[in-house]
Structure 1
Amino acid sequence: MIKIAIAEDNFYALKAIEEKLTVYADISIIYTAQNGVEFLELLAINNDLDLILMDIEMPIMNGIETVKKVKQQFSHIKIVIMTIYDDDDHIFNAIKAGADSYILKETKAEKVYETIIDTLNGGAVMSPSIAFKALQALKRSTVSISVKVSDSSELTDREIEVLEYLREGYTNKRIAETLFISPFTVKRHIENIYRKLQVQNRVELVDKAKREGLI
């Protein structure tokens, strides 16, 4: 029997994962948690696990921080990140934290099961789109090993475009509708802009962008 625990704060996402695994008689879900702190508390009581399915964005303590702490104490337990995020930062931060595999929540049941088996057998599994992005990022890193994250010149054309709409006071939803992209994609662009300009809110963002001549 393969003993699994799941860390997932979204009720519906958790139920979807559980449903994907119920058809496999050799899978036993030992417990679930809604955040990293709760998960670590349960792990302290029962660490007799083979593998953990870990979400990234959770309240109180996110999945990446939780992975670090789990691997520090129980390095033998395999961890599969199961998330909606497919951007470079989340992928590499998860891998650096110690995640063994990285797949998307949209992954079909049979592929989730295959990922569990392959990971337990020592493999490192990634969803196809994740693997492609990881490879592209690796190629870029061979061209420039050190990148100054705070350099505003690193903003992409799309990020500059989003920045312009932020200056005009557009909401995320309105930006998404204007650019014909999803609100999630807009949110991700804004997070990247915040990180690159090293600001905490929209007021600081617009102010710094104006000072640096970006808008």
Structure 2
Amino acid sequence: MKKRIIIFDDDSTRRDSLAMLLNMCADMECVGSYESAADALDLVKAIQPDLVLMDIDMPLGNGINGTRAVKAEFPALPIIMQTVFDDNENIFEAIKAGANGYLLKKTAPDKLLDQLREAFEGGAPMTGTVATKVLQFFREENISTTYNLTEKEKNILKLLVEGHSYKMIAAKSGIAYFTVCNHIKKIYEKLHVNSATEAVRLAIQRRVVS
């Protein structure tokens, strides 16, 4: 069954392009596209999508506010933010609102699709420049705790924060995919979180890795 995605973006040309791209996929489809996130929660309730692709800067309905409203009632629903600018304020406001990933609009179509698929698997995809800013943020933070993570778990969490997929983490760590999943499950337990988004947000806020 295809994964159902709704789009919020005030640029009609981009909405149409994204919808066309998704509808060309064998495993995903666009089931709605809107120019404002003002009614995001009502639309999500009505459509029940599997993922939301959310623009940040929309004059009629801010994407961060829309994300916050949706996440309050649908915490498990993946929401991937898209924007033109990788500015610090938007990045961290989006993460605090509960966004599962943060991608720049210049992301190549094939890469975007791969990152959406990663989000369905529980990942937290981020464009490289965004991941760099995230890492820089918690290098500068003074709050630090280990949560009793092993060195292997810290390395895996760091790769997760950098936006790597589970498959990429497995390749970089020299371990099997299912082993990565087991490590991430243990990381969730130690951090007392239930998703990659929450793990990344806590890592940023508490400087769990460096």
TM-score relative to the length of structure 2: 0.64
Contiguous gaps of at least 5 residues in structure 1:
144-215
Contiguous gaps of at least 5 residues in structure 2:
144-210
1:21 counterpart residue number = 22
Higher relative contact order (CA 8 A, sep 6+): 2
Count of matched residue positions in the alignment of Structure 1 and Structure 2 = 142
Give, as a single letter, the amino acid of the residue that structure 2 aligns with 1:31.
Answer: G
1:112 counterpart residue number = 112
Counterparts of 1:3 and 1:111 in 2: how far apart (Å)? 18
Structure 1 residues 40, 33: CA separation in 2 closer, same or farther (over 3 Å shift)? farther
Give, as a single letter, the amino acid of the residue that structure 2 aligns with 1:9.
Answer: D
In the TM superposition, what whole-angstrom CA distance separates every residue of 1:52-81 from its partner, at most 9, and x where no partner exists?
000001123200000000001111210000
Counterparts of 1:86 and 1:17 in 2: how far apart (Å)? 20
| Contact 2:83-2:103 at 8 Å conserved across structures | yes
Counterparts of 2:136 and 2:42 in 1: how far apart (Å)? 38
Counterparts of 2:17 and 2:142 in 1: how far apart (Å)? 39
Counterparts of 1:93 and 1:122 in 2: how far apart (Å)? 20
Counterparts of 2:27 and 2:119 in 1: how far apart (Å)? 15
2:9 counterpart residue number = 8
In the TM superposition, what whole-angstrom CA distance separates every residue of 1:66-114 from its partner, at most 9, and x where no partner exists?
0000001111210000111201110000000000011011111111111
Counterparts of 1:17 and 1:142 in 2: how far apart (Å)? 40
| Contact 2:19-2:33 at 8 Å conserved across structures | no
Aligned to 2:6, the other structure's residue is in SS state strand
Aligned to 1:90, the other structure's residue is in SS state helix
| Contact 1:68-1:98 at 8 Å conserved across structures | yes
Give, as a single letter, the amino acid of the residue that structure 2 aligns with 1:32.
Answer: S
Aligned to 2:85, the other structure's residue is in SS state coil
Q: What stretches of structure 1 move > 6 A for 4+ residues in a row?
A: none
| Contact 1:21-1:109 at 8 Å conserved across structures | no
Counterparts of 2:104 and 2:92 in 1: how far apart (Å)? 15
Matched, 1:83 2:83: yes
Counterparts of 2:52 and 2:122 in 1: how far apart (Å)? 14
Matched, 1:50 2:44: no
RMSD, aligned α-carbons:
1.5
Structure 1 residues 41, 52: CA separation in 2 closer, same or farther (over 3 Å shift)? same
Counterparts of 1:38 and 1:14 in 2: how far apart (Å)? 17
What is the percentage of aligned positions where both structures have the same residue? 33
TM-score relative to the length of structure 1: 0.62
Counterparts of 2:4 and 2:19 in 1: how far apart (Å)? 13
1:126 counterpart residue number = 126
**1:50-69 equivalence runs, <5 A:** 50-69=50-69
